[in-house]
């Protein structure tokens, strides 16, 4: 497969593919002569992954590169996981984060085994700090629902990863799931908000009440 074919198959301009090559998002093709190279299905798939990470997942090119390097590395899964997490989180200096906000996050995370430097913990704390700055305080356990939901999603993520065969597949799923999972969840959350507010405010009159919130497909993790 030549460059032009790769371009057509991936619906990506040649100049952009060259850019990805330059940025080490995409490995070079197999050289057939000093200035010719062949590409294959691996490259095509990789381009689609790049588009997913950047366009759908909203990663920067730099973050996408770190994430892809993590997949390609031969590191054990936990390290890959951690690199993926750090690559997609703003790296916050723990020292700059409000101690009170951190304490409130830790209260939400009570009983969880989470390291002090977990980027999610720090990010959550800075969100709580922002809520407080603009005068929104969680009187009623609002955020406890978020923590419970996060646990549910994390169980689903790990179930999926556990079920996959090799390190490569697990690693890619971890990384892709981390990035795209955020986007998927926020979409589903918007849909759920409409659903719940429709149930509460417009009553169950015009359409069937739909009492069973879940589908026929496999069981949710208990």
CA distances from 15 to 24, 38, 70 (A): 14, 16, 25
Long-range CB pairs of 145-149, under 8 A, 24+ apart, other chains included: 146/108, 147/108, 147/109
Among 9, 38, 72, 126, binds a second copy (CB under 8 A): 126
Least CB distance to DNA at residue 98 (A) = 21
Packing angle of the helix pair 14-22, 3-10 (nearest 10 deg): 100
Least Cα distance to 88 among 124, 129, 120, 50 occurs for 120
Candidate ranges 7-15, 110-118, 129-137, 206-214; the one touching DNA (CB under 7 A): 7-15
By CB under 7 A, name the one of 9, 27, 37, 126 that touches DNA: 37
| By the rule CB under 8 A, 96 interacts with a second copy | no
Which range of residues in 31-39, 130-138, 184-192, 198-206 is near DNA by CB under 7 A? 31-39
Spatial distance between the Cα atoms of 178 and 153, rounded to a whole number of angstroms: 11
CB 43 within 8 A of CB 26: yes
Position 135 contacts a second copy (CB under 8 A): yes
Q: Which helix (H) or strand (E) holds 102?
A: helix 99-108
Within residues 163-192, the interface with a second copy by CB under 8 A covers 163, 172-173, 176, 178, 180-192
Smaller CB distance to a second copy: residue 32 or 207? 207
Question: Residues in the site for DNA, rule: CB under 7 A?
Answer: 2-5, 13-16, 18-19, 21-22, 28-29, 31-37, 39, 54, 60-62
């Amino acid at each position: 497969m030549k460059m032009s074919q790769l371009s057509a198959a991936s619906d990506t301009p040649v100049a952009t593919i060259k850019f990805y090559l330059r940025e080490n998002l995409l490995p070079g093709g197999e050289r057939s002569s000093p200035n010719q190279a062949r590409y294959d299905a691996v490259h095509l798939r990789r381009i689609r992954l790049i588009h997913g990470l950047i366009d759908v997942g909203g990663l920067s090119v730099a973050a996408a590169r770190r994430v892809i390097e993590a997949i390609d590395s031969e590191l054990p899964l936990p390290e890959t996981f951690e690199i993926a997490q750090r690559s997609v989180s703003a790296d916050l200096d723990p020292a700059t984060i409000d101690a009170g906000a951190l304490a409130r996050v830790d209260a939400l995370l009570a009983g969880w085994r989470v390291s002090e430097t977990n980027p999610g913990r720090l990010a959550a704390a800075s969100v709580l700090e922002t809520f407080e700055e603009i005068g929104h305080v969680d009187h009623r356990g609002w955020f406890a629902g978020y923590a419970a939901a996060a646990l549910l999603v994390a169980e689903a993520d790990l179930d999926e990863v556990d079920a996959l065969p090799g390190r490569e597949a697990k690693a890619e799923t971890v990384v892709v799931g981390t990035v795209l999972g955020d986007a998927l969840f926020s979409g589903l959350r918007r849909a759920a908000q409409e659903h719940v507010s429709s149930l509460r405010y417009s009553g169950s009159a015009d359409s069937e009440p739909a009492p069973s919130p879940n589908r026929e497909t496999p069981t949710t993790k208990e």
